[in-house]
Chains A and B, each alone.
Chain A
Amino acid sequence: MNETCISIRHLSVFYGKSVALKDISLSIPGRQITAIIGPSGCGKTTLLRSINRLIESTDETRVSGEILVDGQNIMDRRLDVTALRKKIGLLAQKPSPLPMSIYDNVAYGPRIHGERDRKALDRTVQDCLQTVSLWDEVKHRLRAPASRLSVGQQQRLCLARSLAVRPEILLCDEPTSALDPVSSQTIEKKLVELKKDYTIVIVTHNIHQAIRLADYVIHLYLGELVEHGPANEVFEHPKEERTRAYINGTFLADIKFDKELDLKGTKCPYNFVYAKLALDDLAEGNILRIIVDDPTAVTELPRGMEADGYEVLNSNQLNKTDWEIVIRK
């Protein structure tokens, strides 16, 4: 199941005179979610767009090296790019419905590839819309313009459009960055569901999203490959100092809490019990932030949480008396 699906060898990409990617070599496992992380402008999107050769549409791009998809070098000039892109779907950052109806958006790909049979198209459209949980919302207005859908629905429609040509690989370029939290969650859930059938590569600047979704992680910095490996290894024991710094830095800067609890004035072990009760109400992977002012709690509470199998992400003194402790279920 987890055989290598995409392998990249000595890939370098130049935009005019500037280098976007420097000699990248790595393998992306099949039927897993691989997250490409790194700060803005580090080449995440370039790497992603190399895989379906969409970087060619930018003027003055030069590429060297190889990318093997299913053992075939896609940088080969003789390769049929349309066949490659049929095999590799793309979910863009901003929902980009085509200027046509909901139905035609999903049927667009199959029609391009020669499907004319009305019944087959109907079935594909329904299947794909059901896969992304959009069918029930739109089945009565398939002929309505796609632009009338909400942004979250549009992004699901775009996912359905990608799936309609039955790809093997799905490339996602920060697919939730333009969405509200609920829509983001829906997309993430869909991606997790889809990984049993698809190899998914997702670019994200949201480290928590990477932690939630990724099985495999690639960390890029200024066009260089810093580190890559299975997600738990990279996140828990990064080999590179730069990866550790990036993960921690992002954590403190833009952490998103699922629940916050003010436990000032409570003593041990009551604050521990309250925190445990709060965690019981949360879903797996959710993040709880608590504030305590009991000095004993600062050392004992994280220890107790770790012992009970929770992950303490951070514990941090806010002011003279108060401490912040961040726990993940």
Chain B
Amino acid sequence: MEKGLSRLIGRRWADLAATRLMFVATVFVASVAVFIGIGLLLKSWPILEARPLSELLFSSVWCPSRGEFGFYPFIMGTLWVTGLAGIIALPLSLLSALYLAEYAPNKVRALVKPALDLLAGIPSVVYGIWGILALSLGGISIGFNVLAGGIVLAIMVIPVVTSVSEEVFRTVPRDIKEASLAVGATRWETAKHVVMRASLPGVAAAVVLGFSRAFGETMAVLMVVGNVARAPSSVMDPAYPLTALIANNYGEMMSVPLYDSALLLAALVLLVMVLVFNVAARLALARVQRRWA
């Protein structure tokens, strides 16, 4: 009796402790994001106080030694490179994911899936070197510009988006695909109207995941993108994304007033851009979902 009771107390105590422990772990993980945000805000506060936000965001003049900090070229650099990567990567990823999920024989899938996972695991500096050798200098020699950066970034994003979307496509119930085939739809019509539609939320999540990474990708991009602080006006122009700006300059020229604060503001701007992208994607999805659900 005595033993049974103490065992019961022990079990309940362990249960309670586990619950608390998991809660603390979750709070810790979630608070990291908040602390990073607060840290960036505090560190970039000096420049936010010294300069109006509109000037910081929309001025094209970047001349720290004269105290001019216009982030416009860098914001546009990030948007151009990421946007181009999206234009290249999205159709390729979604079509190959659809092929793997719906058309490919098991053997092909068994070969391609590990290859994709391998691609996703290659360090980004390797992609950068490949970009220099294959795109910018040797190979097709397109130079150091948005195009080269976009291609390299697309190639980095493709495995992630393809792999995740393929998983999502494969969760579409066989029943509804067959329902479509059974009324005389072709496989493509079924893929287009039924599979894509049914897997939209998951695919949207895959795309958001892939591009949140693309926004912040640094190494490979800064190696091929040219790093000229001017807003690009075509894909053949060089660009200077926010990430490259921070990576190239943090720790140097720290004697220049406000420079340190400016770089942390660049990081904050990047964080906000990714956040806005995430929220916008979610809202758009919710809108579409309400119509179909």
Contacts and interface: CB of A to CB of B under 8 A. Distances in A.
A161 B179 contact: yes
Contacts of B52: none
A94 B177 CA distance: 13
A96 B105 contact: no
Interface stretch (A2-10, A84-92, A180-188): A84-92
Nearest to A109: B183
Contacts of A318: none
Interface stretch (A69-77, A97-105, A226-234): A97-105
B189 interface: yes
Interface in A89-148: 89-90, 92, 94, 96-101, 108-109, 112-113, 145, 147-148
Contacts, number: 78
Q: How large is the interface on B (under 10, 10 to 19, 20 to 34, 35 or more residues)?
A: 20 to 34
Contacts of A96: 173, 175-176, 178-179
A90 B105 contact: no
A84 B292 CA distance: 29
B185 A145 contact: no
Interface string B141-178: 00000000000000000000000000000000101111
Contact of B292 (A86, A90, A92, A145): A145
Given A86-B184, A112-B184, A92 B179 contact: yes
Contacts of A85: 181-184
Contacts of A282: none
Given A97-B176, A99-B176, A147-B293, A90 B182 contact: yes
A236 interface: no
B293 A145 contact: yes
Q: Chain B interface mostly helix, strand, loop or mixed?
A: helix
Given A59-B106, A83-B184, A108 B193 contact: yes
Contacts of A147: 293
Interface string A47-82: 000001010010100000000000000000000001
Nearest to A164: B183
Contacts of B113: none
A200 interface: no
A100 B175 contact: no
25 contacts: A52-B182, A82-B185, A85-B182, A86-B183, A89-B182, A89-B183, A90-B183, A92-B179, A94-B175, A96-B176, A97-B179, A98-B180, A98-B194, A99-B198, A99-B292, A100-B197, A100-B292, A108-B185, A109-B184, A109-B185, A112-B184, A112-B185, A113-B184, A161-B183, A165-B184
Given A59-B106, A113-B184, 15 more contacts: A82-B184, A85-B183, A85-B184, A86-B183, A89-B182, A90-B179, A90-B182, A96-B175, A96-B176, A98-B176, A99-B198, A108-B183, A109-B185, A112-B183, A148-B293
